[in-house]
């Protein structure tokens, strides 16, 4: 037990917030957990499950006396929530978030926070394709990265506490600047998600293959796309709308590359294809060497081992 | 023990052939296993491991007296192998294959087979991202589909034996006609693989994000693409070159869809994105209901449970 904050308030009680609550309680990182969710149903579930010590009826009420406030709402709702809680924040408290894009969140939240409140954005690279207050579990952040993405130099003490908070929840904490964060995540997460969504959409449209066939034979590769494409629609809509330039750029690059391979296939240029596929295979090897995945073939899904699930907050 | 064939010959000794050998031996489906691989190194490994009862120095030698000959070479090499073994096949034997495209294989192999030999193409929808004679294991086909894809009505007795052979190896056997097979697999496997290859290639090209960053944060979604994109380059080159029309069509559809989403993002059309992502999420649910995946979040990779790995023969 090493209490870091007396009271922590979570705004939004989905997969990430509920996982943070389970993880931080297990490590005894806060004395009291307050929570708020916009949906009355979610609040009722949180009360039934004793997810929080105190479930508030408004965000303003939830943040009262909180030493740490974590915004766990979709990126597009951050600004509105910040405006609502701003006047009610405890002087000197820390406000953080778990949003998947950072520049847009900083611009949306900062203006609403009073002097003396420390805003230190963060982004845990962890998640599953499930959502809601009952989808969380204490192990979600173990051996996963949590990026702390401040706009300029954060208050050293406030930063140290937040870093400690995430470290005790099992995460590897790293610092990154907002612009670079948004680009790195676009490449490693946002673009793959958009492309998976598109692939699933195309198959769904393709009429000469029945849906049942697509589903039945999905294990042949397509299934992994559907898992990625099962992520929370609201969250992803907001990610793409709030990281527009990077999305536009990488989509342009992607379409360009795809047309290059398409041309090679049409022309029967086997050498280009072989070289291309050989290069991508080498990247896979480096990922295994970097310890971000195992060389074990991907058989089935084992529940509860070190979280490597993409989607949701993996964004 | 229920011996179906006296002697089975495997041409090509990679992941699928070695898995078939382990699975069929475990079930005692043949008395003798003959094998041939073009690479001397592979033949040496097969001998060291006693993968086969007899490792031949030529394909012609391997098929002598075989009651079943299984072509386990890349699709682009099938025709050449068929030409080589044709004159040496035992009258009345069955020739099958495990190729990922069927129309091209049928056209490449059929002309080289003598009267009285039964050619019954097949395609096991099972595989991992690994290759070679030591990558196989007896469980690979358990609870996976193996499609038997004859060109017209096959000889009833020869068909029944091959169906039984695959069933005893643990597969669910289904019949499909070649054209439909090539379309279904394009949607469920070939296109997802090509798109994963492209995504990995794009990230590799993107210079402002270091390779090490891409690799380090790959668990955020990108990693699953790299696993798909780690499949055997030769095999995939041949798949795309031999299923060209279907590839061209679905790539066109895919680029069209992607540009539609791109436009929606540029215009800030959140409703279109939300609706699109909601629809794809529903497809995911139907796949879980169809028993082709579990609802368990995708954490890590457990080795040895029911094979659901995409890539290689999953094509």
Strand arrangement of the beta sheet that strand B30-36 belongs to:
B54-55, B30-36, B5-11, B68-71, B94-97, B118-119
For the segment B160-181, the average pLDDT, to the nearest whole number, is 96
pLDDT of residue A6: 98
- Residue ending a domain, choose from B176, B210, B228: B176
Chain B residues lying within 8 Å of A248, measured CB to CB: 262, 265-266
On the question of pLDDT at B287 being above 60, the answer is: yes
Instruction: Say if A189 is an interface residue toward chain B (CB within 8 Å).
Output: yes
DSSP H or E run through B98: none
Question: Does one domain contain both B201 and B155?
Answer: no
Same domain, yes or no: B139 and B276: no
- Judge whether A305 lies within some domain: no
- A216 shares a domain with A276: yes
Angstrom distance (rounded) from CA B208 to CA B77:
40
Which residue of A191, A202, A219 is in closest CB contact with B314? A219
Is B305's pLDDT higher than 50? no
Q: Which residues of chain B are within 8 Å of residue A181 when distances are taken between CB atoms?
A: none
Distances (CA, A) of B28 to A215, B7, B20, B49, B209: 33, 12, 12, 18, 53
Q: Is A3 on the interface with B (CB under 8 A)?
A: no
Optimal mutation site among B179, B270, B300, interface A, most CBs of chain A within 10 A: B300
Which region among A127-136, A262-271, B228-237, B261-270 has the lowest average model confidence (pLDDT)?
A: B228-237
Q: Which residues of B touch A100 (CB under 8 A)?
A: none
Q: How distant, in Å, are the alpha carbons of A43, A65, A73, A131 from that of A59?
A: 12, 12, 11, 20
Are both A31 and A86 inside the same structural domain?
yes
Give domain status of residue A36, yes or no. yes
The verdict on A152 and A249 lying in the same domain is no
Q: Do A221 and B304 touch (CB under 8 A)?
A: no
B282: Cβ contacts below 8 Å, ≥ 6 apart:
none
Give the angle subtended at the CA of A205 by the CAs of A200 and A210, to the nearest 5°.
95
A219 and A189 in one domain?
yes
In a domain, B282, yes or no: yes
Torsion of Cα atoms, B246 then B249 then B254 then B259, to 10°: 170
For residue B250, what pLDDT is reported? 83
Residues A113 and A30 grouped into a single domain? yes
Residue B308 lies in a domain: no
| Interface check A39 vs B, CB under 8 A | no
Domain boundary pick from B147, B176, B205: B176
Q: Is A222 part of any domain?
A: yes
B205: domain CATH number is: 1.10.3660.10
Same domain, B85 and B217: no
Same domain? For B71 and B220 the reply is: no
Note whether A129 contacts B: Cβ–Cβ < 8 A.
yes
Residue B301 has pLDDT above 90, yes or no: no
Residue range of the domain that includes B202? 180-300
CATH code for the domain in which residue A172 is found: 3.40.50.720
Blockwise average pLDDT, block size 10, chain A, 315 residues = 92 97 97 98 97 98 98 96 98 97 96 97 89 94 94 95 97 94 88 84 70 74 76 88 86 88 92 89 72 52 31 37
Q: What is the pLDDT of residue B312?
A: 35
What angle is formed at CA B93 by the lines to CA B87 and CA B97, rounded to 5 degrees? 85
The confidence score (pLDDT) of residue A40 equals 97
**Structural tokens at position B49:** 């491991």
Helix (H, G, I), strand (E, B) or coil at B94: strand
B152 and B187 in a single domain? The answer is: no
Q: Which of B140, B158, B176 is the last residue of a domain?
A: B176
Does residue B307 lie in a domain region? no
Look at residue B163 and give its three-state secondary structure. Answer: helix
d(CA A94, CA A90): 9
**pLDDT tens column, B80-113:** 999 999 999 999 999 999 999 999 999 999 999 9
Cβ-defined contact of B257 to A195 (cutoff 8 Å): no
> Do residues B131 and B233 make contact, with C-beta atoms less than 8 angstroms apart?
no
Which of A110-114, A118-122, B136-140, B177-181 shows the lowest mean pLDDT across its residues? B177-181
B188 in any annotated domain = yes
Same domain, A185 and A143: no
Residue B284 and residue A226: Cβ atoms within 8 Å?
yes
Query: Does residue A306 lie within any of the structural domains?
Result: no
Same domain, A190 and A257: yes
Identify the bridge partners of residue B311 per DSSP, sorted by sequence position: B314
Provide the number of CB pairs (under 8 Å) joining chain A to chain B. 414
Question: Structurally, how many domains does chain B consist of?
Answer: 2
- ipTM entry: 0.79
B213 to chain A: which residues are within 8 Å by CB? 184, 188
């Amino acid at each position: 037990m090493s209490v870091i904050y007396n009271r922590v308030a979570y705004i939004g009680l989905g997969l990430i917030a509920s996982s943070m609550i389970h993880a931080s309680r297990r490590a005894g990182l806060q004395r009291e957990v307050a929570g708020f969710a916009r949906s009355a149903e979610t609040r009722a579930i949180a009360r039934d499950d004793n997810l929080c010590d105190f479930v508030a009826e408004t965000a303003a009420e939830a943040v009262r006396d909180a030493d740490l406030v974590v915004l766990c709402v979709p990126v597009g709702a951050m600004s509105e929530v910040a405006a609502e809680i701003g006047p009610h924040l405890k002087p000197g408290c820390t406000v953080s978030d778990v949003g998947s894009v950072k520049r847009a969140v900083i611009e949306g939240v900062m203006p609403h926070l009073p002097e003396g409140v420390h805003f230190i954005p963060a982004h845990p690279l962890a998640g599953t394709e499930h959502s809601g207050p009952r989808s969380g579990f204490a192990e979600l952040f173990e051996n996963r990265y949590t990026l702390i993405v401040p706009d300029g130099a954060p208050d050293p003490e406030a930063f140290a506490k937040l870093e400690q908070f995430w470290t005790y929840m099992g995460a590897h904490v790293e610092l990154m600047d907002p612009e670079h964060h948004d680009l790195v995540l676009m490449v490693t997460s946002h673009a793959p998600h958009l492309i998976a969504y598109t692939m699933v959409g195309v198959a769904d449209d393709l009429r000469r293959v029945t849906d049942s066939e697509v589903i039945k034979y999905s294990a042949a590769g397509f299934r992994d796309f559907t898992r990625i494409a099962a992520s929370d629609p609201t969250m992803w809509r907001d990610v793409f709308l709030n990281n527009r330039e990077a999305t536009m750029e990488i989509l342009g690059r992607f379409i360009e590359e795809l047309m290059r391979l398409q041309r090679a296939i049409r022309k029967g240029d086997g050498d280009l294809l072989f070289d291309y596929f050989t290069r991508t295979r080498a990247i896979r090897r480096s990922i295994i060497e970097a310890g971000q995945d195992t060389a074990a073939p991907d058989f089935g899904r084992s529940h509860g081992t070190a979280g490597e699930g993409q989607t949701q907050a993996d964004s």
